[in-house]
């Protein structure tokens, strides 16, 4: 690492730690790495322990509060100091289609150097310029991101890739543990852009509901209609929650479109559902939209995983025509009890990789799929997830043999999971790297991977 980069990273880590520890004394080094926009290995390179970092920022050592990690004590959500950009105000005074140019202009005012705003392609392969001067590249190859989002390890790989553009600085747009874009500047900004970038990320997330400007910029080519529908169904690809992280992504991103997944954290715990439609195309994706609506309706009415799958089944049966059948697996994890419940209807069995790298197969009896003439009888299986454990759900295109499928098998899936650094995002990245290598880049079936990693 160049000396100047090392100094800058150390400053960034200390600033993030000071801000984070002031409101959440139990913040881990992983939390601080995310807030600083660097990898955990970079944090450890500068600070070998959490205590050494606390000493460096001059924060008094305090015991962790009774609240679970990821929550704030009552009365600590407000801020006394001003922010460089207010997302709510931005949405009120700036027309969403021109927001990219407005954000660049505001960032340049602070930075006093040329800069551009970049978003990630939906397949996670490129940074694409959405606003800013043409002297900065229109497109930059990126390591495999998690769809249009980057985690801290992926961001570190992007910074390494930017070494071929001397003098270019990167400031990530962080939002709930993942970067949804980046500001690239020619030279070091005169004033830090970290806080503006965080507020800009929130403004973009709000404005994205009112304009196609950001979605259009994230697409290098026109997706098939089914793939576009699929993209609209998917949740955030990386999500931090109370006791860990979830990440998920679908390959390829511009065609096929038979798979979908859904992730949500509720007061009772974390829900993960992954489904694999019969074939691809618009009809299969329309069935996915209907099934997803049925899942959410059941979940919001207090259903358990088995009940939710049966609601999906009955709803799909009401649809006319072929291509309405699908396999599905639904899981619920309660962080308070560490109990995991899984129900399966004809889907690839989930895998748990324990903190010590030992695999555990969740061999839920394979019931019939959803939407057919015969009613499935899904059976639940229970297990547990503790600190360091990872739950992995994948679609048929990852493990099965056949034309256009990766054919990793369960053993190959476990091996790819073990190669990851332990985070949910890096687990999905390593699985998809193995998928692309095995398929020779010629995927003709969706290959979906979802990982829940417990802190």
pLDDT at site 23: 54
pLDDT at 214 over 80: yes
Tens of pLDDT along 331-353? 999 999 999 999 999 999 999 99
What does the H/E/C string look like for 82-116? CCCCCHHHHHHHCCHHHHHHHHHHHHHHHHCCCEE
Average pLDDT across the chain, whole number: 88
Tens of pLDDT along 43-63? 888 998 888 888 888 744 333
DSSP 311: H
Tens of pLDDT along 9-23? 888 888 888 877 765
Question: For the chain, how big is the Rg over CA atoms in Å?
Answer: 22
pLDDT at site 61: 39
Count of positions (residues) in the chain: 455
For 27-49, what is the mean pLDDT?
Answer: 82
pLDDT at site 78: 63
pLDDT tier for residue 24 given thresholds of 50, 70 and 90:
low
pLDDT at site 234: 96
| Residue among 373, 361, 365, 324 at smallest CA distance from 346 | 365
pLDDT at site 80: 61
Where does 220-302 have alpha helices with state H?
Answer: 225-233, 281-300
What are the structural domains, with CATH classification, of the chain?
Answer: 3-57 (1.10.10), 87-217 (3.30.450.40), 225-454 (3.60.40.10)
pLDDT at site 67: 34
| Residue among 266, 269, 286, 267 at smallest CA distance from 277 | 286
SS3 state of residue 127: strand
Asked which of 79-93, 175-189, 234-248 is least confident by mean pLDDT, the reply is: 79-93
| Residue among 392, 382, 397 at smallest CA distance from 350 | 392
Tens of pLDDT along 131-160? 999 989 999 988 889 999 999 888 888 988
Q: How far apart are CA 421 and CA 307, in angstroms?
A: 35
Distance of CA 224 to the CA centre of its chain: 23
Buried b (16+ CB within 10 A) or exposed e, 192-231: bbbbbbbbbbbbbbebbeeeebbeebbbeeebbebbbbbb
Query: Residue 386 corresponds to which tokens in the numbers above?
Result: 């503790």
Distance between first and last Cα of the chain = 29
Tens of pLDDT along 413-438? 999 999 998 899 999 999 999 999 99
Tens of pLDDT along 259-301? 999 999 999 999 999 999 887 788 889 999 999 999 999 999 9
pTM of the full structure: 0.85
pLDDT at 71 over 60: no
pLDDT at site 55: 85
């Amino acid at each position: 690492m160049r000396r100047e980069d090392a100094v800058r990273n150390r400053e960034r880590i200390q600033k993030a730690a000071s801000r984070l520890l002031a409101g959440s004394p139990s913040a881990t080094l992983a939390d601080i790495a995310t807030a600083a926009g660097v990898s955990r290995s970079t944090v450890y390179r500068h600070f070998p322990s959490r205590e050494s970092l606390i000493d460096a920022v001059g924060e008094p050592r305090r015991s962790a509060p009774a609240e679970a990690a990821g929550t704030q004590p009552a009365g600590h959500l407000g801020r006394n100091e001003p922010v460089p950009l207010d997302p709510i105000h931005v949405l009120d005074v700036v027309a969403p289609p021109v927001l990219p140019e407005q954000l660049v202009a505001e960032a340049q005012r602070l930075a006093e150097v040329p800069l551009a705003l970049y978003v990630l392609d939906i397949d996670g392969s490129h940074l694409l310029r959405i606003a800013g001067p043409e002297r900065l590249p229109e497109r930059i190859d990126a390591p495999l991101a998690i769809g249009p989002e980057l985690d801290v390890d992926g961001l570190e790989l992007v910074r390494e890739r930017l070494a071929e553009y001397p003098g270019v600085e990167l400031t990530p747009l962080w939002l709930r543990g993942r970067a949804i874009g980046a500001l690239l500047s020619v030279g070091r900004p005169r004033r830090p852009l970290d806080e503006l970038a965080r507020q800009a990320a929130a403004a973009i997330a709000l404005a994205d509901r009112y304009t196609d400007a950001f979605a259009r910029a994230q697409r290098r080519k026109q997706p098939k209609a089914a793939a576009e529908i699929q993209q609209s169904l998917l949740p955030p690809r990386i999500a931090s929650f109370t006791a860990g992280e979830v990440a998920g992504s679908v390959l390829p991103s511009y065609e096929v479109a038979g798979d979908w997944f859904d992730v949500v954290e509720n007061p009772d715990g974390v829900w993960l559902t992954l489904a694999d439609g019969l074939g691809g195309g618009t009809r299969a994706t329309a069935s996915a939209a209907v099934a997803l609506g049925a899942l959410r309706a059941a979940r919001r009415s207090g259903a358990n995983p088995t009940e939710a799958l049966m609601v999906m089944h009955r709803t799909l049966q009401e649809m006319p025509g072929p291509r309405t059948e699908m396999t599905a697996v639904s899981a619920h994890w309660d962080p308070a009890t560490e109990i995991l419940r899984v129900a399966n209807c004809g889907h690839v069995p989930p895998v748990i990789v324990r903190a010590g790298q030992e695999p555990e197969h969740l061999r839920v009896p394979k019931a019939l799929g959803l939407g057919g003439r015969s009613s499935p009888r899904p059976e639940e299986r229970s297990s547990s997830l503790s600190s360091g454990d990872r739950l992995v759900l994948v679609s048929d295109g990852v493990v099965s043999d056949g034309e256009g499928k990766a054919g990793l098998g369960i053993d190959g899936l476990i091996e790819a999971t073990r190669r990851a650094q332990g985070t949910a995002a890096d687990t999905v990245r390593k699985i998809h790297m193995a998928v692309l290598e095995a398929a020779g880049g010629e995927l003709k079936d969706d290959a979906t991977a979802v990982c829940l990693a417990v802190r």
